[in-house]
Amino acid sequence: MSIWLGASTCPPVSQLVISRCYHLATGLEIKDYPSIEIRASDDDILVAVDATLPKLKGARLDDALKSMIRAEVVEKANGMFLLASLQLRELERDVTCRRDVVDILDSLPRTLDDAYRLTFKRIREQGTRKNELACRALALVALRAPFFYIESVRHVLAEGDVTQYIDIETILQCCHGLARCKPGLELEFIHYSVHEYTTAHWSELFPEHPNRSDLCLQLGFSVLTSPVDTSGRNIFCWDTVVRDMEQPEELKQVITLLETTEARAALVEDYPELAPFVHDPLLMACQGGYWKVVKYMIESAPPDTDVKRFDEVLRICRSKQKRWYAEQCVEWINARSDMKVNGEDGLVVER
């Protein structure tokens, strides 16, 4: 943004304010410009520390130990309030005596990645049921970042059995502070960096769900039976479903879901522009821009497929001014042995 400093002879100043570490903005080619790092005040961090100290009753803190805690947290948090709050959770969780305080202060994480790694370690050390609950809930939020409706999460965790719904507070406790519930009953990560961390370390953190697409498909089938009134976008996560899909078996599952009346109805509710094509999953996929699905459906369509379906696909591509996709569809159709695109009028004809 540009700002004026007031003086009539002063030129406008362009100012960029970001909430991420500077190295993440290097792709913007910002060179040789003065910058100011925005940090949390040490006083603010000390307020959080002082609010935590009374909770460490088992340690019987004296003034010297309190001063040590304040100094260590401020120094290792390095101006990051979120990191300080995670460090304080470690103290609050594990301190039972004075010796614990010293040991934990020595091992406090110095970066957010270290803090998240330690938190996931704590999650894994819970009982099997709580560990599975937390990892599945966090994986669902990571899949649907920035948030996921808590009632949909509860439904998926209970595998559709309303009698097995889990209390919201229990879910949050199992997640060890990495997630929170907003007033609108939306489950979200405490910070965008949690999503970045879970995405970067997905296979390590969620070995039970190595393929995000599979998890999303499980989610789609599960929430189809959900009594919760949420929109199709929050239920089906189509962008995430299609993003990394390449394998035929995965695409078959997407098409299977797309062919259900419930799924198409939910999609139309959230994407009204799909309504004219609700009768045909191929046309819905084309109108919605799910090109990997379109490619697979064109290539795997049976020989007796009506050529008019493919004509309609090309018409949609051309009307959406997606020239590249129209050309791709022509290639996919021409690769079939039973039909081709006529070069004169651009219509699909039988060979």
- Distance between CA 120 and CA 131 in Å, rounded? 9
pLDDT digits (tens, 9 = 90+) for 25-38: 545 555 666 666 66
pLDDT in tens, 129-144: 999 999 989 988 887 7
Maximum C-alpha span of the chain: 89
pLDDT of residue 28: 52
Q: Mean pLDDT lowest for which of 166-170, 215-219, 307-311?
A: 215-219
pLDDT confidence of residue 241:
59
Q: Which residue has the higher pLDDT, 187 or 219?
A: 187
Q: What is the pLDDT of residue 123?
A: 92
Look at residue 40 in the predicted model and tell me its pLDDT: 72
Instruction: Flag whether pLDDT at 225 surpasses 80.
Output: no
* pLDDT beyond 70 at 5: no
How confident is the model at residue 174, as a pLDDT?
93
3-state SS of the chain is CEECCCCCCCCCEECCCCCCCHHHHHHHCCCCCCCCCCCCCHHHHHHHHHHHHHHCHHHCCCHHHHHHHHHHHHHHHCCCHHHHHHHHHHHHHHCCCHHHHHHHHHCCCCCHHHHHHHHHHHHHCCCHHHHHHHHHHHHHHHHCCCEEEHHHHHHHHCCCCHHHCCCHHHHHHHCCCCEEECCCCEEEECCHHHHHHHHHCHHHHCCCCCCHHHHHHHHHHHHCCCCCCCCHHHHHCHHHHHHCCCCHHHHHHHHHHHCCHHHHHHHHHHCHHHHHHCCCHHHHHHHHCCHHHHHHHHHHCCCCCCHHHHHHHHHHHHHCCCHHHHHHHHHHHHCCCCEEECCCCCCEEEC
Name residue, tokens 């999953």: 281
Residue 248's pLDDT band, with cuts at 50, 70 and 90, is confident
Phi-psi region of 78 (alpha: psi -120 to 50; beta: other; left: phi over 0): left
Q: Which tens digit of pLDDT belongs to each residue from 283-295? A: 888 887 888 888 8
Mean pLDDT for the stretch of residues 92-102: 79
Interatomic CA distance for residues 87 and 76, integer angstroms: 9
Q: What is d(CA 259, CA 267) in angstroms, rounded to the nearest whole number?
A: 12
% the chain with pLDDT above 70: 77
User: Is the predicted pLDDT of residue 328 greater than 60, yes or no?
Assistant: yes
**Does residue 148 have a pLDDT over 60?**
yes
Joined tokens for residue 96: 């039972």
pLDDT at 270 over 70: no
**Whole-angstrom distance, CA of residue 67 vs CA of residue 73:** 10
Q: Which two tokens stand for residue 97?
A: 């005596």
Whether the pLDDT of residue 80 is over 70: the answer is yes
Round to whole Å and give the CA distance between 169 and 31.
47
Lowest mean pLDDT of 42-46, 93-97, 199-203, name the range: 93-97
